[in-house]
Amino acid sequence: MVNRKRLADTFKWLVAIDSVSREEYEISQAIQTVLAGMGATIRVDDAASRIGGNAGNVIARFDGAPSVPPLMLNAHMDTVEPGRGVRAIFEDGVFRSDGKTILGADDKSAVAVIIETMRIIRERGLPCGPVEVVLTVCEEIGLMGAKHLDFSLISARYGYALDASNTEGIVTRAPAANRFEIRVHGKAAHAGAAPEDGVNAILLASQAVAILTLGRIDAETTCNIGTIEGGTATNIIPDRVTLRGEVRSHDTEKLKQITDTIVSTFERVISAAATPGRGALPRVEWDIHPDFPATRIDPGHPVVTLAQRAAKNLGRTIQPQSTGGGADANIFFDKGIVTGVLGTGMKDMHTVRESVALEDMVRMTELMLEILRLHTEQHLDKASGE
């Protein structure tokens, strides 16, 4: 049923359109044209003005049987750098870039699958309930599109985000995350002539970092300091250093506990370094920003059982999975839209080694078609009293 050549051509067409975060206008317009040509009603929200981008989130609604509740299908349109001038190479059934850029399978493989799915339904006149295709911007820079999505444009209460690798799993548990920025203030002085007059902010920050436990804290919690910036020259005692990092956990209490520990550790180290006569120095400041909420979907929820039934009908299996990453699905879940994350087979995302097999995209298209068929069938049966 799946037109493999057309699916491959759609994917190649999508990855050839540059769409790094905040620059999704061209691909947004191209996708809107395709979806509108298939009969979708298109709405674009005002996220662009709120996140400093040139395109908003696209919500494309396909009407269907009125007795069937709408189902949401989600993907994101943006890519990471290096994502300009992508040249897709197809060999041995696998798409790769030429090695100079990412491929963009994250998440254009998902967009291609959604387009092919809806094309088949429309061409064959297959029974289907309403489908709301939600294509976000700026997912790769902190889920910004989803965070600023106009949720009044979505009526579906559950659905699927196609934004993972494993074609035999559905992500039902994902962590919450906090981002933090810590600024340590010291005192500048000449490093050779009068080092004793200075307070080395980098030294104090490193003493605090050395106390912290970073990396894998436990099975459901991680912590990382990703950037450290400070100092102006090798002969100047640095008077300021800024550290940025994150904490993630499936347990919100652990998330708070680890975040509080980071702050209290810096406070303790800086306080211990205080010396009479230096006034308010050294000192520490911090900002904590909730990044995204946790997702926890019950294994018995229809979004899970529907995907499992569809897979079984195709002779496959779908298993609930836990992940350490965040996705648009986290934001949707927090807004009351239960969203399972499915995989398109993409590998080595965010690297120039990124790839995706055409067969995996075909398999995901087949799964989406069966999910939509079962979803429609079960609700039509209920409506008819069977």
Catalytic residues: 78, 139
Nearest to 76 by CA among 55, 46, 100: 55
Query: What does the alpha-carbon distance between residue 103 and residue 278 come to, in Å, rounded to a whole number?
Result: 54
Query: What does the alpha-carbon distance between residue 111 and residue 368 come to, in Å, rounded to a whole number?
Result: 12
Query: Largest alpha-carbon pair distance within the chain?
Result: 89
Query: What does the alpha-carbon distance between residue 364 and residue 71 come to, in Å, rounded to a whole number?
Result: 16
Say which residues have a Cβ less than 8 Å from residue 229's Cβ, sequence separation at least 6. Answer: 241, 242
Q: How many Cβ atoms from other residues are within 10 Å of residue 103's Cβ?
A: 29
